Chains A and B, each alone.
Chain A
């Protein structure tokens, strides 16, 4: 099978493995894990700082900020989930599905 592959393709695969193996080993090291964690936390903290500042400005102008919208969306979702649960309960009480009839 591999002998049917053209020379250039075999070369690409060989180069890819030559680069890929050390890269794959690197993304399994503690250093990489620490780096990912640090990037993740720094990004979040930067977003929080910017978000906090813009929220203050918007609140001064008596305007809703994205954090307010987020809270409202969460509340709406909670309410919708509750309504869904209640309607599911009502539907099941109303017409509980019959037990399956024996077949096998």
Chain B
């Protein structure tokens, strides 16, 4: 039997559709004009350390109930605000709300002055100083180091390569070790069709546009579906803001320092050296097995930038087997920072793991 149409329901539905059409028109104009830019990276913070373009930020957002402090090491290819995208959908906000003392190591936007930055510079120069700054700022001897994407590789190399590194917990979020599994993103470089020199520009770095094109070409038509979804949800302010923030981030890459890029191509991509469990950095060999921290290997099941297969070797190579754990999360590469799935699954699970491996402070304090 066909459902009967209640006149009151019909009026309500017409009212709703008219209201939504008006909102669509208003938000559409705003979207096209580019006004009402979303506020990204909004969690209050202050700079506590700075060297060159690199900065360590301390987030000021509520009472600190657990230690040691958490230092997030961001990737070299994207902007760190993905981990603090929007209020209500931010890993940083979630961790601080949970009572953790959160810091971010942001690499800034490299220019010609950073073209010589190689792995050694990041692992042996920036990271020890950034960790020392966090220790000084908080008075804690230990830190929880959380690396995202390539930042995870840097964090793991630091934790393994510095005997004096006081890393209690090492969290590797979407951290690639097996570059043979990285797919089309690196195939051009792996097979020698493109040489690093061909991508490096006059500044000595790989321009942000080249990185954006690499990501874009992975799925060039998805933007059509995304724009159609936006059109359908244009009446919803929150959806539009989230969409704009995400679109802004996905276009907002930073240049990749030339020296580090050459090493990445030669060592990581062509020799796939990280899956051997060790790599030469500076004048010494760093072995991932030397990590003494609790290790969490967090991977996203639908990550097409760093697929789970590229992350998997962490469970055989990094740290002590008895202190390794794996966390499989629904969602894609950005589920570590933002999104509905992140709020529901990733953030509570990550915060829970960190708290479980931290100490409760005798007296909670304001940051």
Contacts and interface: CB of A to CB of B under 8 A. Distances in A.
Interface stretch (B3-11, B224-232, B263-271): B224-232
A104 B183 CA distance: 43
Contacts of B138: 100, 103
Find the residue from A24, A28, A102 having the highest chain B CB count within 10 A.
Answer: A24
A34 B232 CA distance: 39
A73 interface: yes
A59 interface: no
Contacts of A88: 51
Interface in B72-120: 112-113, 115-116
Given A9-B228, A9-B229, A81-B113, A100 B221 contact: no
A27 B52 contact: no
A45 to B, nearest CB: 11
B187 interface: yes
Interface string B148-192: 000000000000000000000000000000000001100110010
A48 interface: no
A98 B204 contact: no
Contact of A104 (B52, B67, B112, B218): B67
B136 A97 contact: yes
B188 A37 contact: yes
Contacts, number: 92
Given A12-B225, A100-B141, A27 B218 contact: yes
A19 interface: yes
B54 to A, nearest CB: 12
Nearest to B221: A20
A62 interface: no
Contact of A77 (B115, B132, B136, B228): B115
A20 B139 contact: no
Contact of B220 (A17, A23, A74, A97): A23
Nearest to B224: A16
B142 A104 contact: yes
B198 interface: yes
Contact of A100 (B51, B132, B202, B228): B132
Contacts of A20: 219-222, 224-225
B332 interface: no
A16 B198 contact: no
A2 B225 CA distance: 14
A74 B222 contact: no
A77 B204 contact: yes
B112 A77 contact: yes
Interface string A21-36: 0011001100001101
Contact of A12 (B51, B218, B224): B224
Given A12-B225, A20-B222, A81-B116, A100 B135 contact: yes
Given A33-B188, A44-B198, A24 B113 contact: no
Contacts of A40: 194, 198
B139 A73 contact: no
A2 to B, nearest CB: 11
Contacts of B112: 73-74, 77
B319 interface: no
Given A40-B194, A104-B359, A16 B132 contact: no
B68 A28 contact: no
Contact of A27 (B67, B135, B194, B217): B217
Contact of A16 (B184, B188, B225): B225
Give the top 6 A-B pairs by smallest Cβ distance, nearest first: A100-B135, A20-B221, A12-B228, A77-B112, A16-B225, A37-B193
Interface of A: 5-6, 9, 12-13, 16-17, 19-20, 23-24, 27-28, 33-34, 36-37, 40-41, 44, 70, 73-74, 77, 80-81, 84, 88, 97-98, 100-104
